[in-house]
Amino acid sequence: MSTKPPLHEHIDNEMIKLEVNLDDTSGELLGYVMDLLLEQGANDVYYTPIYMKKNRPGVMLQLLCSASLLEQMKDTIFRETTTLGIRYYPLSVHRLEREFIKVTTALGEVTVKVGIHQGKVVQWAPEYEECKRLAQQHQLPLKEIYDTVRRTYENSTIR
């Protein structure tokens, strides 16, 4: 198994969470905005269905980014959505140490992201895009690829 250098466990106190309620935005526009924000460096972008004034259905856009990207994120949201205001506030994030391990299965190689807390593995997951590629290449169900990677990873690690 080969690895990338690990990312060490730490608290990131320089994060900002932004929130916007939208009630007149199409799904296509939401997807486009999400892609833009992620391309510009947002750590996470997601939508939650909500009910607004007069029981109108809407969507809450939320994103997490470093404080240094706040103005760029605000500019994109104002330019690309119909909002008239953005809520934002500072936020701390506890990030686990991460290792990226290449696992070689009978079907091909897959990167496994490993989360480590206080020196112990607490979670791990195969990378979706690599599993998807193998599923398509071998014409197998995606869940079968995940199972194969899981078995191979568990049999190759001593933790």
Which residue, of 75, 94, 113, is where some domain finishes? 94
Residue appearing with tokens 């466990």 = 9
61 with 30, same domain? yes
41 with 58, same domain? yes
Instruction: List phi, psi (to 5°) of 136.
Output: -70, -45
| Cα–Cα distance measured from residue 62 to residue 39, given in angstroms and rounded to the nearest whole number | 15
88 with 16, same domain? yes
Classify residue 1: in a domain, yes or no: no
101 with 67, same domain? no
Work out how many domains the chain is built from and give that number.
2
**Beta-carbon count within 10 A of 110 CB:** 24
Q: Residue 6 has what pLDDT?
A: 60
5 pLDDT tier (thresholds 50, 70, 90): low
19 with 84, same domain? yes
100 with 74, same domain? no
- Residue 113: give the domain boundaries: 96-156
Q: Residue 141 has what pLDDT?
A: 97
| pTM metric for this prediction | 0.72
Residue 122: CATH number of its domain: 3.10.20.300
159 pLDDT tier (thresholds 50, 70, 90): very low
111 with 142, same domain? yes
Residues 6+ apart with CB under 8 A from 93: 11, 12, 15, 43, 64
**Looking at this protein, which amino acid is placed at residue 149?**
V
100's enclosing H/E stretch is: strand 97-105
Classify residue 20: in a domain, yes or no: yes
Which residue, of 94, 111, 137, is where some domain finishes? 94
Which tens digit of pLDDT belongs to each residue from 83-116? 999 999 999 998 899 999 999 999 999 999 999 9
Which tens digit of pLDDT belongs to each residue from 107-155? 999 999 999 999 899 999 999 999 999 999 999 999 999 999 999 988 8
Which tens digit of pLDDT belongs to each residue from 28-38? 999 999 999 99
Q: Is residue 74 within 8 Å of residue 80, measured between CB atoms?
A: no
Q: Residue 11 has what pLDDT?
A: 85
Which tens digit of pLDDT belongs to each residue from 43-97? 999 999 999 989 999 999 999 999 999 999 999 999 999 999 999 999 999 889 9
86 with 100, same domain? no
